Amino acid sequence: MYKLLIVDDEPQILEGMKRILDWEHYGFKQIETSDSTEDAVFKAVDLIPDVAIIDVCIGKNLGYDAIHKLNEVNLPTKYIIISGYSDFQYAQQAIRCGVKDYLLKPVDRIKLQEVIEKIIIEDLHGTIRDVNADTMSIDPVLGIHYDALSKLVNRILIMIKTEFAHNISLKSVADRFQMNSTYLGQLFIKETSMKFSEYLMSYRMYRAQELIQTTNEKIHWIALSVGYNNLNYFYTQFQNHFGTSPSSLRMKS
């Protein structure tokens, strides 16, 4: 079974990263956290984690400092750097440290999942077959396997998941497929038991919930990032969907 170390100086991020994936399902039975480079080195030497996710800036120190020290003692750990900065120099330093990937905050769950799966297969020589069967093949909104849906509806879902932050609509999707929007809407309802607009809203709420629970970004930024230009409308939709406000959900995380 695998061991994971998460290093960040923000408690909210630490808790969010512990929840962003179903770590146990991937075989991570032990998860430790640290909020300083000094403590990170101490815990890493004691734990010998298989994977360590480290923020690029930890207080006044750099996560690379900890990685350099751990590399000196030849720990077999595979490192992932997370950062709120897209600075090229940080990325260059990450390459020099031999990190497996450099992910920008807010950390995208799908991208992190892909990196973890790659590490498990290529570096830890493990398997992710069960994870793929139980998580990757199930739609997070519908709760059903993608193979239970037609190719056309699956294509619509992919379009929603890649363009949910923009002004996507049933008509715009139908135009791209050169199909009648009424017919396409009826087909979507028949297979998913949801209107296109209902699914789009639910998926936006799903992504908003992820960002609220795994980042410390301001609510208005999260609203914009999931496709809502009107903050009041976002609050109304969120309250109706979850039965609580974005701020209250964050406090519970």
Q: Residue 40's closest CA among 1, 81, 83?
A: 81
Q: Please report the pLDDT score of residue 231 as a whole number.
A: 94
Q: Please report the pLDDT score of residue 55 as a whole number.
A: 92
Q: Residue 205's closest CA among 117, 154, 194?
A: 194
Please name the helix (run of DSSP H) or strand (run of DSSP E) that holds residue 112, with its range, or none: helix 109-122
Q: Please report the pLDDT score of residue 94 as a whole number.
A: 67
* pLDDT tens-digit profile, the chain (253 residues): 899 999 999 888 888 898 888 898 889 999 999 999 999 999 999 999 999 999 988 888 888 889 989 988 899 999 999 987 666 666 677 677 788 988 887 788 888 988 998 898 889 988 775 544 455 578 889 988 888 999 899 889 988 988 898 899 999 999 988 999 999 999 999 999 999 999 999 999 999 998 888 888 899 999 999 999 999 999 999 999 888 899 888 876 5
- Tokens matching residue 220: 């208005």
CATH code that applies to domain 2-135: 3.40.50.2300
Q: What pairs with residue 54 in β-bridges?
A: 7, 81
Q: Which residue has the tokens 């970004």?
A: 217
Residues belonging to the chain: 253
Q: Please report the pLDDT score of residue 136 as a whole number.
A: 56
CATH code that applies to domain 140-253: 1.10.10.60
Could you give the CA distance from residue 117 to residue 132 in angstroms, rounded to a whole number? 10
Q: Which residue has the tokens 């999931």?
A: 226
The whole-model pTM stands at 0.54
Given a contact cutoff of 8 angstroms between Cβ atoms, the answer to whether 5 and 52 are in contact is yes
Phi, psi of 107 (to 5 degrees): -65, 125
Tell me the DSSP string of 169-214. -HHHHHHHHT--HHHHHHHHHHHHSS-HHHHHHHHHHHHHHHHHHH
Q: Please report the pLDDT score of residue 73 as a whole number.
A: 87
Q: Which residues are within 8 A (CB) of 1 and not within 5 positions of it... i.e. 6 or more apart?
A: 27, 28, 29, 30
Domain ranges of the chain: 2-135, 140-253
